[in-house]
A and B are shown apart, each in its own frame.
Chain A
């Protein structure tokens, strides 16, 4: 196994699962999320700088997953085939976890405006700081704060109603 393949394997074991879950929350489709993350991993070592610097590689993976998720959602909107596949897949009536109905939560996330959804996922699932979330989303920290505030408010009100 050459150097880049060994590095790629290490990176996969460390970050693939978490990035995959983040992608699922962003695109609400497990298969599409796998495609997004795998494509990001295939490209991560196109640059020798990222091969030498693990932090740069991770930052690239996060940005790429976010950007590819955005592209995927845009394509769905354009083709009018936007489907809440997570809702369909997780449509069992008794699937409450920690007191939250998964169907309700997935539906609520899918209904958030794109930027609010991204901010909420990055801040409250990936646990990124406001500054780092802003950097990845290429917006200001103030905008991240606003997106999160509105997103959380909307989600929590929905969840409280249904729980």
Chain B
């Protein structure tokens, strides 16, 4: 007991009476004979329990840390995040020819796939690889660490007008032909000789959507769908668009179709979602202005990601991200601090 804890005896007679009474009341109270052994035994039990709890806590903490570390490492292990499939990124070609994936929000280069060594006309993004159509014909499959190989089944020398990939399949359009490459097999779909495939989109089931032009007439392109495993394209006549579709891409609800909002106005486009079975309109979509009038169908490209966002990219390097009814300009430059070629990037 410290000196400051205690009070000097008080002089009040009432207080002294109470003080004396309290002391007298408990004067004969003594600890039981077993008090000290019980205290010491209780202390030992308590120490044991606390030690056990401490060990259990340490084991639990170590296990949690190990699990977190595993999750942390797994999330960052390259094989589990295949090249080209990282969310919120697109694939583009830098000015020096290197194919890269670029983070959508920041424009930072996320991964490099090497240089194809040939002029690129179109890009497609797969789960583990990036596919690049070359100007001299054929398609290159680029992998991580700069590995690449030329795709078999695509006839070299043919000018590739469009490519797309999904679930390990690759669709390549050349003139009026479409080659569907899956592992070691190639299936070819040939349209009438007067037709030319301007764009194509391949969905997860193997279904193809084609934007088809007719060389013999000056009419707008039409939209055709090739069912999975089929070899003929069914024209979607019910979809009426004055100036025809320019580009298309699959979404989880249907086909996203990009077209000019008016035939005479080529610097503004509209994206409409349609039912691929009937051609009927599912959603009116959104429209937005481009930075310059479209010169040719190859000047623009649409691609979608797993969340149905649509990336619209032009050869001028401008990009727009369409998310539902919202349209936002994507990163101004293709990749921050590094210029890109005119090949439109794809998600």
A and B part of one assembly: yes
A78 within 8 A of B: no
CB A147 to nearest CB in B, in angstroms, measures: 13
Determine if B14 and A156 form an interchain contact, defined as CB atoms under 8 angstroms apart. yes
Q: Given the complex of chains A and B, what is the CA–CA distance between A132 and B50 in angstroms?
A: 32
Determine if B46 and A153 form an interchain contact, defined as CB atoms under 8 angstroms apart. no
The residue among B2, B15, B46 with the most chain A CB atoms within 10 A of its own CB is B15
CB A113 to nearest CB in B, in angstroms, measures: 15
Determine if A125 and B36 form an interchain contact, defined as CB atoms under 8 angstroms apart. no
Determine if B26 and A24 form an interchain contact, defined as CB atoms under 8 angstroms apart. yes
CB B48 to nearest CB in A, in angstroms, measures: 12
- Fill in one digit per residue for B13-54: 1 if any A CB lies within 8 Å of its CB, else 0: 011011111111111011110011011101110110010000
Determine if B19 and A9 form an interchain contact, defined as CB atoms under 8 angstroms apart. no
Query: Which residues of A in the span 64-119 have a Cβ within 8 Å of any Cβ on B?
Result: 97-98, 100, 102, 105-106, 109
CB A41 to nearest CB in B, in angstroms, measures: 5
Dominant secondary structure at the A interface: helix
Given A24-B29, A98-B21, A153-B14, check contact A127 B7 (CB 8 Å): yes
| Least CB separation from B19: chain A residue | A124
Given A120-B18, A124-B18, A156-B17, check contact A129 B46 (CB 8 Å): no
A155 within 8 A of B: yes
CB A131 to nearest CB in B, in angstroms, measures: 7
B1 within 8 A of A: yes
Q: Given the complex of chains A and B, what is the CA–CA distance between A160 and B27 in angstroms?
A: 21
Determine if A21 and B29 form an interchain contact, defined as CB atoms under 8 angstroms apart. yes
Determine if B5 and A129 form an interchain contact, defined as CB atoms under 8 angstroms apart. yes
Partner of B25 from A106, A130, A132, A156 at Cβ < 8 Å: A106
Q: Hey, which chain A residues are within 8 Å of B21, CB to CB?
A: 98, 100, 105, 155, 159
Determine if B4 and A121 form an interchain contact, defined as CB atoms under 8 angstroms apart. no
**Number of B residues with CB within 8 Å of any CB on chain A:** 36
Determine if B18 and A97 form an interchain contact, defined as CB atoms under 8 angstroms apart. no
A16 within 8 A of B: yes
Give the contact-size bracket for chain A.
35 or more
Q: Hey, which chain A residues are within 8 Å of B50, CB to CB?
A: 46
Partner of A45 from B18, B27, B43 at Cβ < 8 Å: B43
Given A21-B29, A25-B25, A155-B21, check contact A132 B5 (CB 8 Å): yes
Determine if B1 and A58 form an interchain contact, defined as CB atoms under 8 angstroms apart. yes
Q: Hey, which chain B residues are within 8 Å of A98, CB to CB?
A: 20-21, 24
Q: Given the complex of chains A and B, what is the CA–CA distance between A129 and B19 in angstroms?
A: 14
- Fill in one digit per residue for A7-44: 1 if any B CB lies within 8 Å of its CB, else 0: 01100100011001100110000100110001101110
| Least CB separation from A33: chain B residue | B29
Determine if B40 and A5 form an interchain contact, defined as CB atoms under 8 angstroms apart. yes
B6 within 8 A of A: yes
Q: Given the complex of chains A and B, what is the CA–CA distance between A130 and B10 in angstroms?
A: 12
| Least CB separation from A12: chain B residue | B36
Q: Hey, which chain B residues are within 8 Å of A120, CB to CB?
A: 18, 22
Q: Given the complex of chains A and B, what is the CA–CA distance between A132 and B38 in angstroms?
A: 30
CB A128 to nearest CB in B, in angstroms, measures: 6
Determine if B39 and A12 form an interchain contact, defined as CB atoms under 8 angstroms apart. yes
A140 within 8 A of B: no
Q: Hey, which chain B residues are within 8 Å of A41, CB to CB?
A: 39, 42-43
Q: Given the complex of chains A and B, what is the CA–CA distance between A109 and B31 in angstroms?
A: 22
Q: Hey, which chain B residues are within 8 Å of A33, CB to CB?
A: 29
The residue among B5, B31, B36 with the most chain A CB atoms within 10 A of its own CB is B5
Partner of B18 from A4, A106, A130, A152 at Cβ < 8 Å: A152
Determine if A8 and B43 form an interchain contact, defined as CB atoms under 8 angstroms apart. yes
Determine if B17 and A128 form an interchain contact, defined as CB atoms under 8 angstroms apart. no
A63 within 8 A of B: no
Determine if A129 and B4 form an interchain contact, defined as CB atoms under 8 angstroms apart. yes
Q: Given the complex of chains A and B, what is the CA–CA distance between A58 and B31 in angstroms?
A: 18
Q: Given the complex of chains A and B, what is the CA–CA distance between A137 and B36 in angstroms?
A: 27
Q: Hey, which chain B residues are within 8 Å of A125, CB to CB?
A: 19, 22-23, 26
- Fill in one digit per residue for B90-110: 1 if any A CB lies within 8 Å of its CB, else 0: 000000000000000000000
Determine if B26 and A25 form an interchain contact, defined as CB atoms under 8 angstroms apart. yes
Q: What are 14 A-to-B residue pairs whose CB atoms are below 8 Å?
A: A8-B40, A24-B29, A46-B46, A46-B50, A98-B20, A100-B17, A105-B24, A109-B22, A124-B18, A124-B19, A125-B22, A128-B5, A129-B7, A155-B17
Instruction: Please give 15 more A-B residue pairs, beta carbons under 8 A apart, in addition to A16-B31, A42-B39, A155-B14.
Output: A4-B43, A16-B39, A24-B29, A25-B26, A34-B35, A58-B1, A97-B24, A97-B27, A98-B21, A100-B17, A125-B22, A125-B23, A132-B6, A156-B14, A159-B21
Binding site for B on A (CB under 8 A): 4-5, 8-9, 12, 16-17, 20-21, 24-25, 30, 33-34, 38-39, 41-43, 45-46, 55, 58, 97-98, 100, 102, 105-106, 109, 120-121, 123-125, 127-132, 148, 151-153, 155-156, 159-160
